[in-house]
Amino acid sequence: MATPRRIKVNESGKVTVVTFNDSKIIDEAEIQEFGQELYDLVEREDRKKIVLNFGNVEFLSSAALGKLIGFDKRVKQHKAELILSNIRPEIYEVFAITKLTKLFVIKDDEADALAAI
């Protein structure tokens, strides 16, 4: 797989930890790219335990939320696990307004996510 441009991928034991390179996720081309890079983790690389660390993310649009939902569907199709972590309060509010807090498992920080997955 080519080196991803929108995300960074690290391993913590059997868990794949993903961080985002962009602090603002609004550009449509970048959202397409970041979505594909996430999809590849489960569809091409068959990773089964994934933590998305949102520590770098200061802003994201509803289009980015749509990609995350698409990723969650693929994770479930491939019987993998996904946990979100390190979400800033203002970003968490976006998840809360759209009720995506019901769809995603969200932990305060990466250590909590790694312990739970």
Instruction: Give the binding site for other proteins (CB under 8 A).
Output: 26-29, 59, 61-63, 65-66, 69, 72-73, 90, 93-94, 97-100, 102-103
CB of 98 to other proteins, least distance (A): 5
**Do 64 and 31 contact (CB within 8 A), yes or no?**
yes
User: What is the spatial distance between Cα 50 and Cα 99, in angstroms, rounded to a whole number?
Assistant: 21
CB of 17 to other proteins, least distance (A): 24
Half-sphere exposure of 100 (CA within 13 A, CB side): 19
Query: Is the CB of 65 or the CB of 105 nearer to other proteins?
Result: 65
